[in-house]
Copies of this chain bind each other. A is one copy, B any other.
Amino acid sequence: MTKIKPRTLSGFMELLPPSQVCFNTMVHKLHETFSLYGFTPLDTPLMEPAEILLAKGGGETEKQVYTLRKGDTDLAIRYELTASLAKYVALHYNDLTFPFRRFEIGKVYRGERAQRGRFREFYQADIDIIGDGALDIMNEAELPGVIYNCLISMGLERFYIRINNRKILSGFFEILGIRSGDESTNVMRMVDKLDKIGADKLLKSLIIDLDLSQEQADEIISFVTSKNDPFLTLEGYRGKNEIFDTGFEELSALQQHLAGFGVPDTHYKIDISLARGLDYYTGTVYETYLSDYPEVGSVCGGGRYDNLAGFYTDRKMPGVGISLGLTRLFSILQEQELLNEAMLSAPADVLIIPMTDDLSHAVKLATSMRESGLRVQIYSECKKFKVKVSYADKLGIPFVVFLGEDEIEKGLITVKDMSSGEQTTASSAMLTAGVCEKVKALQKGMPIKEKSDSLSHSAR
């Protein structure tokens, strides 16, 4: 028979068991943290009618959407989670209670050329709060707390959240006499490139590409590169433009509550140059950077938008949300060797190696240890003793139980702690309790472990 060469498509992350356990722990931590903030889990279909997923349009991204046809229906596979949320909220409006807080952690697909750090199948973890008609600024103030606690719960510490309010930039541009609409949007997009191209290039581009006057361009540069306390810079423009003033008030209100929400001031930065590319943000915007790897860009971003479900309904549904690119974050951490290898990633806590032909005692012991919450395998293959023990060793199973005639006769078991090599013979009840306790301690490991040398660097 001709054999097929087994392969996984490029751009699809397929993990070996220990890495998968680490990844799942990160997912679990996100799930837990999102829940603490009162978000309900959703799990929407991966396929939707093409018109639903492509409603927003989206230039480059649209070209990457996987589409297929079955019967007379044009189907598409989701390339992010927001379009599905918009449909969900419009479709189930009458069954939902607003503000509606949901999270979804799911796979999305983009048929782009796979390259380092780019995936064609990847997880996004999104939270959104959707209002019916209105949505208070407090919701925007709460999200940095969620980001902070998500990353901290995974074991990451060296990151910071950049926060701005788009109304400030929009208002500021109006004060400078830049027309709102396309002109303002173009300037916003250009300013968003500051980090990439630097102040000199930005100044030139504003004048040459966007036709701003030297004065306008100078003032923009001085505004977005100011090293002063951002609120001091903003203070100088207050009272000149309504949008600007609203943005100022919202940003102040937000900042005032960050400490209360548990975000220490080492972990956020009010940054009035932050614009974010996507046009639909209308208020607060967020981006999150790894302090030691700013070059990988934002790993978690989002913001406030005014109209989630405009394709479906005239009802105004403002929202605020963030999206964490989990697969990408994981691959960066893996590349940088920041994943915690000491985390318990074995498939079992205990391997029972029966030393008699009759396995009934091993079976009963396995069942009773499982009832105590231990994850147990029985090694029942016909192999040499050495192979059996090395099975536990290779998989990192922390405890091995030997069950021979001697033990069975005396009603005892022998447990070997694989890390210390220590071997104890005693009653199964006693040893099970001891193993349970030790396993609990082993499970406390976090999926991310920053290296001590990176921790010695300054904060940012």
Chain A residues within 8 Å of B, Cβ to Cβ: 1, 3-9, 12-17, 20-21, 23-24, 35-49, 51-52, 55, 66-68, 70-71, 73, 75, 87-88, 90-92, 95-97, 99, 101-102, 107, 109, 111, 120-121, 131, 134-136, 138-139, 141-142, 145, 149, 256-257, 260-262, 309-314, 347-348, 351, 359-360, 363-364, 366-367, 370, 373-378, 380-382, 391, 394-395
Contact = CB atoms under 8 A, between A and B. Distances in A.
B6 A37 contact: no
B37 A97 contact: no
Contacts of A312: 3-6
Contacts of A7: 49, 52, 87, 91
18 contacts: A3-B312, A4-B51, A4-B312, A5-B312, A6-B91, A7-B91, A9-B48, A17-B42, A20-B40, A20-B41, A21-B41, A36-B370, A38-B348, A39-B347, A47-B109, A67-B68, A99-B381, A138-B380
A75 to B, nearest CB: 7
A238 to B, nearest CB: 22
Contacts of A120: 47
B260 A97 contact: no
Nearest to A395: B97
Contacts of A134: 381-382
A107 B17 contact: no
A101 B42 contact: no
A111 B95 CA distance: 29
A6 B87 contact: yes
Best-surrounded residue of A13, A70, A256 (most CB of chain B within 10 A): A70
Contacts of A5: 312
Nearest to A348: B38
B45 A14 contact: yes
Nearest to A352: B38
A376 B8 CA distance: 42
A370 B148 CA distance: 14
Nearest to A99: B381
Contacts of A96: 16-17
Q: Which 5 A-B pairs have the closest CB atoms?
A: A38-B377, A38-B348, A138-B380, A260-B363, A40-B347
Given A136-B380, A138-B380, A256-B360, 8 more contacts: A3-B311, A9-B45, A21-B40, A35-B347, A36-B374, A38-B347, A138-B378, A261-B363
A283 B311 CA distance: 55
A141 B359 CA distance: 11
Contact of A101 (B45, B47, B138, B377): B377
A123 to B, nearest CB: 9
A136 B134 CA distance: 63
Contacts of A67: 68
Contacts of A394: 97
